[in-house]
Amino acid sequence: MPPSYHVSTTTVDTTSVDMSRADRLEYWCERISSFHCTVNSRVLRPDDFQGRATCQRTQSYQLVAWGVSTPQWVQRTKRHIHTDPDERYRLVLTTSGSLALRDANNQRVLTAGAGALFTVNTPFDLGVGSRHRGMILTMPRREIDHRLGRAALLNPEMDLTRGLGRLIHTSLVTLKTERHSLSATQFDRASQHLTDLVCLLVLGDTQPPTSHAREIETQIRQHVRGNARDSGLNTESIAQALGWSQRQIQTVLRQAGTTPSELIRQERLHYARQQLENPANVHKTITQIAYESGFNSAHTFTKAFRQHFGHTPKDHRDH
């Protein structure tokens, strides 16, 4: 049987004339629990409360995006955990306003662009501020643990405004925006890719997950090959383009037996050799080909070409 994919929207505001204020708030709190797990939930300033939440879910992953007008407290206790255990991990992201997350080991206040990875299988308090908007991606525990072990439980606040964090932020927003255009398989694959990115961000400048090192190496090589002629191509620009840290780039390539600078030089040399062999370039000088291949001088190009191929560019063209 193919996997099922469900999308739902919940809206509660003062225009809901068919429900009393108490019923509206109870309905909202019940819906929040149904999205996640059993919790205590309390809305502050209930007279002015408005809330909207969208939920996308399959059997494996879930993305909930919400917005509320007034503060709300959510509490998960030991009793809740005993009666309704939930091993999955959550990535929470604040898109506007602020959110306070407190458990036995940490207390974090997440403002716009900040996120945190946590488990609901330990007691916690979550406080949502006024005019708050946020998102929570629910991921299978096995997908986190086999990459990070227990590292996720110790993860500090995440910056989702730049680099890899920004890529995660943008992907979450896109996943929500395109919710009605996705199939179950597409949603699961996109969520799994997001899980991979979250793990990379948690690992920071340490070694990327071994199971994905080859895929990362392939993407680095493709990027370098496509941009080798750019004289400004370096480790920093590769990291910025792909959303990883420079050390992660260096680690993956070291495992492959090379370095960023060596990979860039090789790709430039192979491109230059193709240009030297192309009859259409017979009118071009060695210097022109050197610059067009990303080298900063003909001397540097000639020296690198001789070291790599065993003869000069001129000799290669003459033969």
DSSP letter for 208, please. Answer: P
Could you give the strand order of the β-sheet that contains 124-128, starting from the edge strand earlier in sequence? 40-43, 72-76, 124-128, 98-103, 107-111
Sorted by where each begins, the domain ranges of the chain are 6-204, 208-319
Average pLDDT, the chain: 86
Tokens (6 digits) for 175? 């996943």
Average pLDDT in the 179-192 region?
93
Give the SS3 label for residue 275: helix
Among all chains, which residue has been given the structure tokens 């420079």? Answer: 246
256 falls in which pLDDT band (50, 70, 90)?
Answer: confident
CB atoms within 10 A of CB 146: 11
pTM above 0.75, yes or no: no
What percent of the chain is predicted at pLDDT more than 70?
91
pLDDT at 17: 53
Q: What confidence score (pLDDT) does residue 121 get?
A: 87
- Residue 264 — pLDDT band, cuts 50, 70, 90? very high
> What's the pLDDT at 142?
81
CATH number 3.40.718.10 given to 6-204: no
pLDDT for 80: 93
More confident residue, 19 or 202: 202
pLDDT at residue 148, as a whole number: 67
Look at residue 259 in the predicted model and tell me its pLDDT.
92
In the predicted structure, residue 164 carries a pLDDT above the cut 80: yes
pLDDT at 188 over 80: yes
Question: pLDDT, tens digit, for every residue of 204-233?
Answer: 654 555 556 677 788 899 999 999 999 899
Token pair recorded at residue 198? 């979250």
Integer Cα distance of 5 and 316 in angstroms: 59
Side chain identity, residue 151: A
Q: Are 233 and 275 in contact (CB under 8 A)?
A: no
Per cent of the chain over pLDDT 90 is 48
Tens-digit pLDDT profile for residues 17-75: 567 778 888 888 888 888 888 898 888 888 888 889 999 999 999 999 999 998 988 99
CATH class of 208-319: mainly alpha
Structure tokens at 193: 């890719």
DSSP string covering 12-52: E-TT-TTS-HHHHHHHHHHHHHHHS---EEEESSGGG--EE
pLDDT given for residue 114 in this prediction: 93
- 98-156 pLDDT, tens digit per residue, is 999 888 777 888 999 999 988 888 898 999 988 999 999 999 988 887 666 554 555 56
SS3 of 280, please? helix
Q: Which of 300, 296, 288, 294 lies closest to 317, judged by CA? A: 288
Tokens at residue 53, please?
């939440």
